[in-house]
Structure 1
Amino acid sequence: MKNGKVEEMRDRIINGPIVKTLIVLAYPLIVNQLVQVLYNLTDTFWLGKLGRAELAAPGTAWPLVWFFMAIGMGFATAGFAFVSQYVGARQYEKANKAAGALYSLMMLFAIGVGVFGVISAPYLLDFMNVSGTVYPYALSYTRVIFAGIPFAFTLFAFNFLLRAIGDTKTPVKINIATVLLNLVLDPFFIFGWGPFPQLGVVGAAVATMLSNSLGSLVGGYLLFTGRVGIHLTVEGLKPDWKFYGRIFRVGVPSSVGSSSTALGFVILTRIIFTLGGRFGDADVAFATYSITNRLTNFMFAFSDGISMAMGTMVGQTVGAKLYGRAKAIAEKTMAINFTILGIGTLIFILFRVEIFRFFINDPAIIAESAKVVKYFSASLPFFGIFSAVNNVFQSSGHTKKSMVLGIFRLWGLRLPLSYGLGVLAKDTAGMWLGMGLSNVLGAIVALAWFLTGSWMSRIIEERD
């Protein structure tokens, strides 16, 4: 590990002005999130040219993919907590060792997930009650994405490791390059431009897989050649069962929380198709939800970037036992997130029709979007608070708290409220209202738990 560069950033995180340091760390992450959203928006734009069913296909696939990726992401979160706290405690060699263990664990897990996902995709889509018109497109798309999971996982591991040491710029450069490649390849594979085959929905998945593969290979090259703050070696990838055990202890609650959240969104997809079909048109309801997701992801690009930067700062300050500073960092982040999402929500409300019409000029979808604005949009700033608290719990290594919080918001609030209010109102408006209430109530509970200060202890041991 390049101690000089890492030490310099550590000093800024531990001793520098909070908001200025937060912005320095956050702006590359925000750019990265925006580029990712740009890809999603472009994907939606091109698939919208094919039709309503094609546009909805990725939206049905991603909750499934996310469910399995979330399990691995829990261990990445644990690795992030260990590496950032070791850096905060100036134990750089142990940070390198933790990085190697995480990378090898992610590679092994990803291969298993990829194989399982390709085989089980039809059964999983059946469980989601995907409509017959969307199903064939969703199946093909899902299988290709699962085939590329190993590359996606190792790219995530690279991003987490560098963010843990305070390097938010290098991963962004790679991610921007891969997303731009994806943007270029999308229409060529979807429509068969030039010498490329016309693959339709599958083309979007192929473009994603190829781009992630390239990013993963570049990230691996940088880690193993020591050109970034962390230097991995083949020797360091050998299974370290004792440290794996520590990663599992911290990572399992995060994996359970993340995968439960992802599974919840699989159930939510089923609810949307079910209630949409019962009280209107299932494809209209889900297409509206898909576009809404893309738009909210655009707003969350800013708040998520800031929350991730906050995670680096909280991880290292907790590692240095500066708990009061960690709390101040988190509180400033919540205030910034609430403000940003408030402004974004206002823009969403004012230009709803124009925004939805850009993606697909479907009167039924535009009419459904009016319910989104009326019953759901005002809750978005509250999700910024929830997200920040969740990130505090994860980056400080208190993953059980994060797990309970995530399960409560989705399984305790969103799913029962969305389905119950939808049935009670006999209208999809009740479903949107349930989603909104889950954000508001979840944020209130999260903030109250944060203020107890029960997360203010580190997970690395004095004898490490």
Structure 2
Amino acid sequence: MARTLWQQTWPMAIGVLALLGFQLVDSAFIARLGTAPLAAQSFTFPLSFLIIGIQVGMGIAIAALISRALGAGENERARRLGSLVLLIGNSVIAMLAGLLWLLQAPVFSLLGADQSTLGLIRSYWTPQLLAAWVGAVLYFVYSISRAHGDTRLPGKLMVATSLINLILDPILIFGIGSWEGMGLPGAAWATVVAFTSGLWVAGAKVQRAGWISLQALGEEARVSLIPFAGIAGPAMVSQLMPPLAAMLAISIVASLGETQVAAWGLASRLETVSLMVILAMTMSLPPWLGRCYGAGDWTQIRNLLSLALKVAVGWQLLLGLVIALLSPWVALLLSGNPDVQSELALLIRFLLPSYAALGVCMLVVSAGNALGWPLRAMLLSSARLFVCYLPCLWLGSQWGWQGLAVGAAAGNVLAGLLAWGVLRRILSSPKRRAGQQASS
């Protein structure tokens, strides 16, 4: 089992590292433009995460339904589901992006952006929304591929698109030769080009593999839309909680100053990169769990979750402690502003080790959506943010920047303990025990 987990996870881990790494590289390049552009980009993170939350929620439903259909031997239905969710997902993300473009001024003002920052955001937001839409469609194609057991294609393409973005970032941001570049919007346009290239390759692969089909699509929509909504709805609500919490968090941070907002934005990017293994497992585990769920193999499910949680805690704690020890040098690498470096190093020392507990919560939520507990997963995700994280963050901020860092770390630890308790209670229920005994 450990070998299979490794084989399923490592391509996604490398891909996630590359994908999230280029987002961190974006922020590092933008930091060279100055504190104001970096702060402007940081204000866009919560709304960008909103789009990502919608796409991840739909991706969870895609992987769950297709993997269950494959586990039950319904291969033709799995192909129809692939086409159906691509059409739905494309439309939903496009409408959401249009709405966020129309509401940009009042929303960013509400988050605490002043007029000068709004001007910087305005030039960046249009190409960033386009990048988010293309990236979402690409993510849906990745979800279809993972549901069919192919994690190598998404992993390779994440690396390839990251390299394209890395090459284009300095050219489009700072220019080349006599061309002065686009500044802040250049980072978003680099992402548009990278994601479009990946979508062209991934779409061709999915079509050649025969993983999508337009036959009897209307009938499939009639049968599957309610089950799809039953999984995607709670999953999207769960995934929407982090962006909403991020909006509230950035408003708390904004009250401390522009330098703090810039440091918080860099820390947010570093958080996603440091959680690469956890994020990879949240992508690779659900299809596997879904197949076990479809076959009624609860012994396999229990063993798989136990192994995944041990790997997550061990890896994340080791990585967090190492990066915390190297925090001054990591901050120096990410920002050229001494004030931002100081504030970022403080955040790193407290936050990075706490991500071991956060990883437990993320895996439990992901497993819940794959195993028929979408409502419980949604409630757990909400409790993590609004019962554990945000109250601790706000309380800590009353004692300044260091207090805020301590509060954020404490919220992560509380969330991990809560998720572990929920998982143990669910798996020890009589129904789960009966399923385990029957399959043993």
After TM superposition, the score normalised by the length of structure 1 is 0.87
Q: Does 1:367 align with 2:310?
A: no
Correspondent of 1:212 among 184, 195, 199: 195
- Note the C-alpha offset of 1:43: 1.1
Q: SS of the counterpart of 2:231?
A: helix
Out of 172-181 and 381-390, give the one that drifted further: 172-181
Shift in Å, 1:204: 0.4
| 1:233–1:266 Cα change, 3 Å | same
Which of 258, 262, 274 is the aligned partner of 2:243? Answer: 262
Q: 2:154 — aligned with what?
A: 171
1:234 offset after TM fit, Å?
Answer: 7.2
**What corresponds to 1:429 in structure 2?**
402
8 Å CA contact 1:307, 1:333 repeated in 2: no
Query: CA 1:86–1:256 in 2, change beyond 3 Å: closer, same or farther?
Result: same
1:370: Cα distance to partner? Answer: 4.6
Match of 2:22 in 1: 39
Q: Structure 1 residue 311 and structure 2 residue 294: aligned? A: no
Match of 2:90 in 1: 107
Deviation at 1:235, TM superposition (A): 6.2
Structure 1 stretch displaced more, 30-39 or 192-201: 192-201
Deviation at 1:255, TM superposition (A): 1.1
| CA deviation after TM superposition for structure 1 residue 373, in Å | 4.4
Q: Measure the CA separation in 2 of the matches of 1:312 and 1:368.
A: 40
**Structure 1 partner of 2:3:** 20
User: Contact (CA 8 Å) 1:313, 1:329: kept in 2 or not?
Assistant: no
- Aligned amino acid, residue 30 of structure 1: A
User: Whose helix proportion is higher, 1 or 2?
Assistant: 2
Q: Following TM superposition, by how much is the alpha carbon of 1:195 offset from its aligned partner in structure 2, in angstroms?
A: 7.5
- Aligned-residue offset at 1:233: 3.5
Tell me if 1:378 matches 2:361. no
SS in 2 for 1:453: helix
Contact 2:157 2:198 in 1 (8 A): yes
Measure, in 2, the Cα distance between the counterparts of 1:303 and 1:386: 10
- Residue pair 1:103, 1:237 contacting (<8 A) in 2 also: no
User: Which runs of structure 2 are paired with 1:64-463 in the superposition (5 Å)?
Assistant: 64-194=47-177, 198-224=181-207, 227-228=208-209, 230-233=211-214, 236=217, 240-274=221-255, 276=256, 282-423=257-398, 425=399, 427-453=400-426
Quick one: distance in 1 between partners of 2:297 and 2:179?
56
Using a 3 Å threshold, how does the CA distance of structure 1 residues 59 and 241 change in structure 2: closer, same or farther? farther
1:88–1:238 distance in 2 versus 1, CA, 3 Å = closer
CA contact (8 A) 2:290 2:370 kept: yes
Shifted more, 413-422 versus 193-202: the winner is: 193-202
* Unmatched runs of 5 consecutive residues or more in structure 2: 433-440
Shift of residue 196 of structure 1?
A: 5.8
- The 1:432–1:132 alpha-carbon spacing in structure 2 relative to 1, beyond 3 Å, is farther
For residue 30 of structure 1, what is the aligned residue in structure 2? 13
- Give, in whole Å, the separation in 2 of the partners of 1:358 and 1:374: 15
Q: Aligned partners of 2:352 and 2:55: how far apart in 1?
A: 31
TM-score by length of 2: 0.92
Change in 2 beyond 3 A, CA 1:82/1:362: same
Maintained 8 Å contact 1:111/1:149: no
Q: Which residue of 1 aligns with 2:438?
A: none
Letter in 2 for 1:411: F
Quote the sequence identity (%). Answer: 20
Distance 2:86 2:8 in 1: 23
Structure 2 Cα separation of the partners of residues 103 and 131 of structure 1: 38
> What CA distance in whole angstroms lies between the structure 2 residues aligned with 1:213 and 1:239?
29
1:374 is displaced (CA, Å) by: 4.9
Q: Which moved more, 1:73-82 or 1:441-450?
A: 73-82
Aligned-residue Cα RMSD (Å) equals 2.2
d(CA) in 2 for partners of 1:107 and 1:239?
A: 18
Contact 1:81 1:397 in 2 (8 A): no
Residue 197 of structure 1 deviates from its aligned partner by 6.1
The ranges of structure 1 where at least 4 consecutive aligned residues each deviate by more than 4 angstroms after the TM superposition are: 194-197, 454-457
Deviations 1:148-205 (A, max 9, x none): 4432221111111111121001122222222211111111111121476621000101
Amino acid at match of 1:65: S
What is the CA–CA distance in structure 2 between the aligned matches of 1:132 and 1:353, rounded to whole Å? 32
Amino acid corresponding to residue 81 of structure 2 in structure 1? A
Separation of aligned partners in 1, 2:131 and 2:321: 38
Separation in 2, partners of 1:152, 1:232: 22
Ranges in structure 1 where 5+ consecutive residues have no aligned partner = 1-17, 277-281, 458-464
Distance change (3 Å), C-alpha of 1:443 and 1:322? same
Shift of 1:213: 2.0
Aligned length: 430
How far does the alpha carbon of each residue in 1:206-235 deviate from its partner, in whole angstroms, 9 at most, with x for none?
1112221222233222223xx236133476
Instruction: Tell whether the 8 Å contact from 2:49 to 2:242 is kept in structure 1 after alignment.
Output: no
Q: CA deviation at 1:411?
A: 1.4
